[in-house]
A and B are shown apart, each in its own frame.
Chain A
Amino acid sequence: MSVSAVRIRDLRKGFGAVEAVAGVDLDIGDGEFFSMLGPSGSGKTTVLRLIAGFERPTAGTVELAGRDVTSLPPFERDVNTVFQDYALFPHLDVLRNVEYGLKVRRVPRAERRARAREALRGVRLEGMEARRPAELSGGQRQRVALARALVNEPRVLLLDEPLGALDLRLREEMQAELKAIQRRAGITFVFVTHDQEEALTLSDRVAVMDRGRIEQVGTPAQLYERPATAFVAGFVGTSNRVGDVRVRPEKLQVDGLDGVGTERGPGQGDRHALGTVADLVYAGALTRVHVDLESGERVVALRQNLAASDDMPHRPGDRVRVRWHSAHEFRVADAGRGDAAEAAPAS
């Protein structure tokens, strides 16, 4: 087996009485797009800063490509960071920002100019070389920050919520661009985000963090379909609790008792529960059907709006049968622990 790009063992970091990182183990493969997902305060950014070397751990080790870098300062680590606030040098123009790392490493002027221009072309910013960061839009600054880090050809690129400050459209555009750049450059990406959709769509693997610990590491599909803990089940997508199992909202089928609204015929392995429609929430592509089950539990089912919205077969107060396939059920290890997003409407 090849050496991990990043290997972390029992990493801990305390700030006063608060333990921001409380024992983390991670192995991130070479060329992997790896995300750390969690709510604010979960310790994901601190782990990133420990990998970069901005913080010294209270305990534990950080290895990069098999080399223990735990006690090395940032300028001796072969990683580069894209900061949440971009951290562009305001007194330098775009070209000088991008060539900063090369200049520090004494790359000859002609070569570093050429490489900086090439990096700017890679993020579609040719012609912007002479601008100051203040004269750029948020998306452009983001791309300068990316070029400034990538031009050094680091083994690992660390990205701290890099898309957090962008509006939705730009965000989606940049997500696609990031993924393309990562594939092209073949660099290991360690990507910190609190946006579960972003983590799922971009990553090869995701580590879900909560309260300084890793809850689960897996591929997006593993996390979504087989969440290991109640926290993961609630933070990555939403889930319904039915008895002692959980089911994702889009896996629930709502049938009228007279058969109205059935999208999929009954089959083997189906489970049922009876209930009353409590509310319908129209959300464009989908409608959320809130159903109060006879057991007293409330579940949310997603129904695709294949027809016009006023064709919705159910009305609040209707008696319905909620149906799902047993293969879509999952259990979590710590079922007793309340999961944050369970009762909230699906997002």
Chain B
Amino acid sequence: MDDDQGLTAVAAARPAPGPRRRAAAVLHRRPRLRLTLLLSAPLAWLVPGYLGALAAIFLTAFWTTDTFTGEVVHQYTLANFQTLWDEPVYRTIALRSVGVAAAVTLIDMAIGLPMAFAMAKVVRPRRRPYLVVAVLAPLWAPYLVKAYAWRVMLAHGGLADEVLGPFGLSGPGYGLTATVLVLAYLWLPYMILPVYTGLERLPDSLLDASGDLGARPLRTLRAVVLPMVFPSLVAGSVFTFSLSLGDYITVKIVGGRTQLLGNVVYDNVGAANNLPFAAAVATIPVVVMLAYLAAARRTGALREL
């Protein structure tokens, strides 16, 4: 067979491109078209459904309600923000909410870091997936069920009282402490997982090297592990902090008479039927979170999300 015949045979063996192949070829040549097709569905959802709702809240905060009929009056006013600023009770509630979120975050860091370290560095690699599943498992149970389970445990004469009784102590009962405890329990997986991921990416040789250079384990933790997982800790705290700040159910179930931003919003939407004021209150956690994210961004932590 000479060369010419060979070439003809090859060309004939190749079928003419079908419509799917042609479409693929067009997409391959036009990266912008590819990007547009990929993003059109998410954007169609994100812009009206997500950002639209946020904008609506913000807009509503500048309206007011007719005190007589309860109807929303579409008239621009700063009255809601004025009330928030002037009434000391709202400042107290805002500060208390931030305090609760901070306490939950610190507790989750204190529990999550050793847990994540054990998972990533101590346990054998083959057993790690089971631990990840164990950490995730509580997330499969409904939120309300978990909160009510705690309500039962913390009830007067409940499990908490019974366990602490022999030590001459009693459970915290319903209130601020209970709220912090339950929130810390609920959001713990959101702290463990990013920290675990961060630690898993930390090469073992760095820990070896630190010990090799004479550092005891605590020193290695302070000088190598903590600085290296700091961005992951911040990433986890973004979850625990924002979820705590927005929560209104836990505080209703175990918080007793405690008021946080979340249930103030809830009460104004429901009982008080003052949607514009609820919207104004709701802007507080948004602003706090934006400030928090801006601070987190400076640590480089957002690249860990």
Contact = CB atoms under 8 A, between A and B. Distances in A.
B227 A91 contact: yes
B208 A54 contact: yes
A161 to B, nearest CB: 12
Interface string B204-223: 01101111111110010001
A31 interface: no
B224 interface: yes
Contacts of B215: 75, 100, 104
Contacts of B227: 91
A87 B203 contact: yes
A220 interface: no
Interface string B246-263: 000000000000000000
Interface stretch (A78-86, A115-123, A168-176, A315-323): A78-86
A108 B271 CA distance: 67
A148 interface: yes
Q: Name, among B205, B212, B228, the residue most crowded by chain A CB atoms within 10 Å (CB to CB).
A: B212
Interface residues of B, number: 17
A105 interface: yes
A75 B212 CA distance: 5
Given A87-B205, A87-B206, A89-B206, A74 B228 contact: no
Interface string A58-90: 000000000000000111000111011101111
A74 B224 contact: no
Given A75-B211, A75-B214, A105-B214, 14 more contacts: A54-B208, A54-B212, A75-B212, A79-B212, A81-B212, A84-B205, A87-B205, A87-B208, A87-B209, A89-B210, A91-B227, A100-B215, A104-B219, A148-B213
22 contacts: A52-B212, A54-B211, A75-B211, A75-B212, A75-B216, A79-B212, A83-B209, A84-B205, A85-B205, A87-B203, A87-B205, A87-B206, A87-B208, A89-B206, A89-B209, A89-B224, A100-B215, A104-B219, A104-B223, A148-B213, A149-B213, A152-B213
Interface of B: 203, 205-206, 208-216, 219, 223-224, 227-228
8 pairs of A and B residues whose beta carbons are closest in the complex: A101-B213, A87-B205, A87-B209, A74-B211, A104-B214, A104-B215, A91-B227, A81-B212
Interface of A: 52-54, 73-75, 79-81, 83-85, 87-91, 100-101, 104-105, 148-149, 152
